[in-house]
Amino acid sequence: MNSTTTLSPLPAAAPAVTAPTRRNQAFTRRWRGLVVPFAAIVLWALVSRLDLVNSALLVSPAKVLDTGRELLSSGVLWLNLRASLARELTGFVIGTGSGLVLGGLLGLWPRFNRIVGPSFNTFKQISLFAWIPLISVWFGLGDVAKVVFLSLAALVPVVVNTADGMRSTPATLLEVARVYGYTRAQTIWHVVLPSAAPAIFTGVYLALVYSWLATIGAEYLLVSGRGVGNLLIEGSEHFRMDLVLFGMVAIGLVGWLMNASARTLERALARRLGR
Amino acid sequence: MTTTVTTDDLHIHVASKRFDSSQSTDGSLQVLQDMDLQLPPGEFVSIVGASGCGKSTLLRLVLGLDTAYDGAITLGGEAISGPGLDRGIVFQDHRLFPWLTVEQNIGVGLRNASFNAQQKRHLIAEHVALVGLEGFEKSFPHQISGGMAQRVAIARGLVNRPRVLLLDEPFGALDALTRARLQGELQRIWQKERITMLLVTHDVEEAVFLGDRVVVMQPHPGRIRRIVPVNLPHPRNRSDPEFIRVRDDVLADFLAPDRRGPSDVPPTAQPSAAIGFSSERIRFAW
Amino acid sequence: MASTLSYRVAAPAASGRQRLQGMARGAEPFLLPIALFALWAVGAAQGWISAQVLPSPQFVWETLSDLATSGDLWLHAQASLQRVLVGFVVGSALGLLLGAAMGLSKTAEDYLLPTFNALVQIPVLGWLPFVLLLVGIGEPLKYILIAKAALVPVTLGTLQGFRQTPATLLEVGNVYGYSRRQQVLEIVVPTAMPTLFTALRLGFTKAWLSLVVVELVASSEGLGYLIVYGRQLFQLDLVMAAVIVVGALGYAIDRLLDWAEARVAARHGARPTPKGLL
């Protein structure tokens, strides 16, 4: 009996909607998302043009664009952004690295988990920002303190997700490893780690996001130095709404970029790892 | 059936196997009792019994995943004290690693085997062909069907040429059509490789189709009710009257209460829905 | 392995040695905190670190009791709790509405979700200067920012809850001719309850976290304010006392919400979501 004859699958049911219509629908739906922001900007421009609201705070969209252009061309924006990003990435790398180690220990070593785990869980529930004043006393107000803070912000999600991912290795697969005589090291490297890879990646992704969110906060509370957050503070201190708005847009864009790139990376990795 | 001990005889002797249980009067539940089974090399033995009769537990003892029992299991004269590459297993859930391709999954079985890289590649290719999955070597488990995944599991179980292959309800999770086809596949593979195989199932027809002997187990505690020899030529024909007679004979142990054997425990087992077999003569025992 | 039996392992009669092991296990979670505390106490007593960098445990304890007895602690805690409550209620109410609207109507989602996602990218502190310029430094500032913090997870969670109604149940509704209203009220909402509750819980956690942040930056009373005040005067004992109170309150609230979530989930037969970091 030759086993290579496989039954061909039954033909799939014909799609209910013809392809062109479906493409149109998707197109329309995407444009809808732009309606609200567009309308808001138009309304805003109208209000400022017609002087409907009497306030020094009401700057026109044009003014915001101008300020933006100025910041970009003078290099001020880039200078501040670069400072913020540099700190964030440093904190991210340190936090993720130590987080992977700590998370690995917690996930793989039950005794360590019993001793350190509860304390870590308590620690992570206290808002990180509450530690800033202490950090500022111990490390000053400059870059070092900020990086320490950012590393902590990155460390927490990495530890949680790494430990969780490792602990959730399916027992069925661990049994297979036992059957084939895998040593402890082999089991960890060939079974636990690949199985935990998606969770670890989630942790790293969150670390990137959290450290960016923390960057702005850090610049608020540890005020010396340059950064995008500092731009915002300056703006609010000098009642310059245009500066504030543009700064917010810049922050939003960077955040969105990080999210998007992390998501693409995650999808590519998932494909390669066969999920 | 020869009685001289050769190097690959599998002797199973389990006097007693208990699990702790807070639900029984003396704190433990006896799962297996007085199991005595001897498999000469190359034989295919099916163990059939309803859920809960301890047959999977028995397999785990032979596999070496569990060593807490009264008795002795030896393979070729050596006692079994833990898992080893000389005994392969196919689980009911294929247990393939989702992040490895078909080839790599088969290779999992070879990680600690003493072959060099080239030999390993050769073995893997050989076994991919054996189970009929040429062309799918680079596919991932989620890209292939359940039946194909189970075939990969069979290949993995066989790849380092174990002396015994254990199969724990290997086709239980598959649909009836795939199951029937894979039963034929397994028979073909066994005929070709002649590795000793011990199959555990709740499907009587499957047990008779594949086995040289059918061990009927009954539960509470799990023990051998009787052993039915199947002296039919391979490949088996499901429509052969003699096949049907043997099958009905075994099936009767589970269906007809007044056909009980010498033991006075009524079969609490319910026949599985997998038995495809329509006769009005069946009176259900529950 | 379908026929693998699983038995609850009966507790064996505890031998002396096993009992000792059991006690050792129970003590393990406390080993690290006790060791750290001992280090702290000894370090402060021996003067290894100056009191300005790390005050002694005694000092912190005294400050803490002073705060408690003088009523200051309650004053500040109350201010904080009030803010978080108002902000949370406003933010979650809006979040539920928004999430429900987007969850029930694909059209609404198309129009609103992209803008919402864009605004989410900006952290609470990023909004602070903007809102500050708009409403000044008073209470509304805090309420608005805390509401924003709660709004985001509640909206997203509600959206998810309303979207994840099992198609199987909706089909049953179809078969029995349920109107849209019946469908929403009797199928979609009940199935969404556990997710909604989890979202609310997350919203409160975020609200609490952002409360501390906002108070650190822009307030004249509250627990966060105490932290900043102590820091400015180099009274680290005050800082640490306030941090401890913040931590303790946060923990207590978290446990309460945990318990409540478990109750809701049990009633619905769903498992509570795992405590990952969301």
pLDDT at B104: 93
Residues of A whose CB is below 8 A from B89: 179
Furthest C-alpha separation in chain B: 60
**B132: its two tokens:** 């009929």
CB B155 within 8 A of CB B106: yes
Proportion of chain A above pLDDT 70, given as a percent? 88
pLDDT in tens, B187-202: 999 999 999 999 999 9
| Banded model confidence at residue C3, pLDDT cuts 50, 70, 90 | very low
Q: How far apart are CA B211 and CA B183, in angstroms?
A: 11
What average pLDDT does this structure show over A253-272? 83
* Statement: residue C266 has pLDDT above 80: no
CB atoms A181 and B84 under 8 Å: yes
Which amino acid appears at position B81 of this protein? S
Does C166 contact chain A (CB < 8 Å)?
A: no
* Statement: residue C272 has pLDDT above 60: no
Q: What is the 3-state secondary structure (H, E, C) of C34-62?
A: HHHHHHHHHHHHHCCCCCCCCCCHHHHHH
Proportion of chain B above pLDDT 70, given as a percent? 86
Q: How far apart are CA B156 and CA B167, in angstroms?
A: 12
Which chains neighbour C (Cβ–Cβ under 8 Å, 3 or more pairs)? Answer: A, B
Does A126 contact chain C (CB < 8 Å)?
A: yes
DSSP-derived letter for residue B222 is B
Q: How far apart are CA B127 and CA B134, in angstroms?
A: 9
Which amino acid appears at position A201 of this protein? F
pLDDT at A2: 43
B1 CA to chain C: closest CA distance, Å? 31
* Statement: residue C278 has pLDDT above 50: no
A117 CA to chain C: closest CA distance, Å? 7
pLDDT at A171: 93
C63 CA to chain A: closest CA distance, Å? 16
The pTM (predicted TM-score) of the whole model is 0.77
CB atoms A195 and B99 under 8 Å: yes
A271 CA to chain B: closest CA distance, Å? 9
C37 CA to chain A: closest CA distance, Å? 12
The answer to which of A26-30, A77-81, B282-286 has the lowest mean pLDDT is B282-286
Q: What is the 3-state secondary structure (H, E, C) of chain A?
A: CCCCCCCCCCCCCCCCCCHHHHHHHHHHHHHHHHHHHHHHHHHHHHHHHCCCCCCCCCCCHHHHHHHHHHHHHHCHHHHHHHHHHHHHHHHHHHHHHHHHHHHHHHHHCHHHHHHHHHHHHHHHHCCHHHHHHHHHHHHCCCHHHHHHHHHHHHHHHHHHHHHHHHHCCCHHHHHHHHHCCCCHHHHHHHHHHHHHHHHHHHHHHHHHHHHHHHHHHHHHHCCCCCCHHHHHHHHHHCCCHHHHHHHHHHHHHHHHHHHHHHHHHHHHHHHHCCC
- Overall fold of domain A61-272: MetI-like fold (1.10.3720)
pLDDT in tens, B35-88: 899 999 999 999 999 887 888 899 999 998 888 899 999 998 888 888 888 899
Residues of C whose CB is below 8 A from B92: 1-2
Nearest partner of A191 among B111, B67, C225, judged by Cα: B111
pLDDT in tens, C39-95: 888 888 887 777 777 888 888 888 889 888 888 888 899 999 999 999 999 999 999
What average pLDDT does this structure show over C168-172? 85
Phi, psi angles (nearest 5°) of residue A201:
-65, -40
Q: How far apart are CA C248 and CA C81, in angstroms?
A: 13
pLDDT in tens, A62-86: 888 888 888 888 888 888 888 889 9
Is C149 exposed, middle or buried (CB count within 10 Å of its CB: 0-12, 13-18, 19+)? buried
Residue in chain A lying closest to C137 (CA): A236
What average pLDDT does this structure show over C28-45? 86
pLDDT at A262: 83
Neighbours of A103 (CB within 10 A): 28
What average pLDDT does this structure show over A47-57? 72
CB B90 within 8 A of CB B165: yes
CB atoms A244 and C130 under 8 Å: yes
CB atoms A251 and C123 under 8 Å: yes
Q: Comparing B3 with B242, which gets the higher pLDDT?
A: B242
Would you list which residues of chain C are within 8 Å, Cβ to Cβ, of chain B? 1-5, 7-12
What average pLDDT does this structure show over B201-208? 94
pLDDT in tens, B89-111: 999 999 999 889 999 999 998 98
* Statement: residue A35 has pLDDT above 80: yes
pLDDT at B257: 53
Neighbours of A208 (CB within 10 A): 21
- In B101-238, the DSSP E strands lie at 164-168, 196-201, 213-218, 223-229
* Statement: residue C13 has pLDDT above 60: no
Q: How many CA atoms lie within 13 A of B105 on its CB side?
A: 32
* Statement: residue A193 has pLDDT above 80: yes
What average pLDDT does this structure show over C151-169? 90
Residues of C whose CB is below 8 A from B29: 5, 7
* Statement: residue B153 has pLDDT above 90: yes
Q: How far apart are CA B209 and CA B198, in angstroms?
A: 13
| Banded model confidence at residue C270, pLDDT cuts 50, 70, 90 | low
Q: Which domains does chain B have, with CATH numbers?
A: 10-86+162-259 (3.40.50.300)
Q: Which of A28, A29, A31, A32 is the best mutation test for C, with the most CBs of C within 10 A?
A: A32
List chain A domain ranges: 16-54, 61-272
pLDDT at C247: 85
* Statement: residue B279 has pLDDT above 50: no
Q: How far apart are CA B106 and CA B117, in angstroms?
A: 14
What average pLDDT does this structure show over C192-211? 88
Residue in chain A lying closest to C274 (CA): A164
Q: How far apart are CA B226 and CA A41, in angstroms?
A: 85
Q: How far apart are CA A149 and CA A218, in angstroms?
A: 7
Q: How far apart are CA C106 and CA C104, in angstroms?
A: 7
Residues of B whose CB is below 8 A from C1: 56, 91-93, 168-169
- How far CA C111 is from CA of A21, A31, A32, C115, C116, in Å, comes to 20, 9, 5, 8, 9
List chain C domain ranges: 74-268
Q: What number of residues does chain B have?
A: 286
Residues of B whose CB is below 8 A from A176: 91, 95, 97, 108
Class of domain C74-268: mainly alpha
Q: Which of B97, B114, B165, B188 is the best mutation test for A, with the most CBs of A within 10 A?
A: B97
Q: Comparing A184 with C5, which gets the higher pLDDT?
A: A184
Q: Comparing B106 with A21, which gets the higher pLDDT?
A: B106
CB atoms B98 and A178 under 8 Å: no
CB B45 within 8 A of CB B208: no
Chain centroid to CA A86: how far?
15
**B172: its two tokens:** 């239980």
What average pLDDT does this structure show over A19-29? 68
- In B98-209, the DSSP E strands lie at 164-168, 196-201
Q: How far apart are CA A207 and CA A159, in angstroms?
A: 10
Neighbours of A135 (CB within 10 A): 21
Collapsed DSSP state (helix, strand, coil) of residue C106: helix
* Statement: residue C23 has pLDDT above 50: yes
pLDDT at A20: 57
* Statement: residue C20 has pLDDT above 90: no
Q: How many CA atoms lie within 13 A of B189 on its CB side?
A: 25
pLDDT in tens, A105-132: 999 998 899 889 888 988 887 888 888 8
Q: How far apart are CA A92 and CA B80, in angstroms?
A: 51
What average pLDDT does this structure show over C242-252? 87
- Which strands make up the sheet holding B223-229, listed edge to edge? B87-90, B164-168, B196-201, B44-48, B213-218, B223-229
CB atoms A36 and C112 under 8 Å: yes
What average pLDDT does this structure show over A212-226? 82
CB atoms A180 and B109 under 8 Å: yes
pLDDT at C22: 81
CB atoms B57 and C5 under 8 Å: yes
Residue in chain A lying closest to B186 (CA): A3
CB C227 within 8 A of CB C216: yes
pLDDT at B234: 87
Does C128 contact chain A (CB < 8 Å)?
A: yes
Residues of C whose CB is below 8 A from A232: 126, 128-129
Q: How far apart are CA A123 and CA A125, in angstroms?
A: 5
* Statement: residue C30 has pLDDT above 50: yes
Residues of A whose CB is below 8 A from C247: 122, 125-126, 130
What average pLDDT does this structure show over B158-180? 93
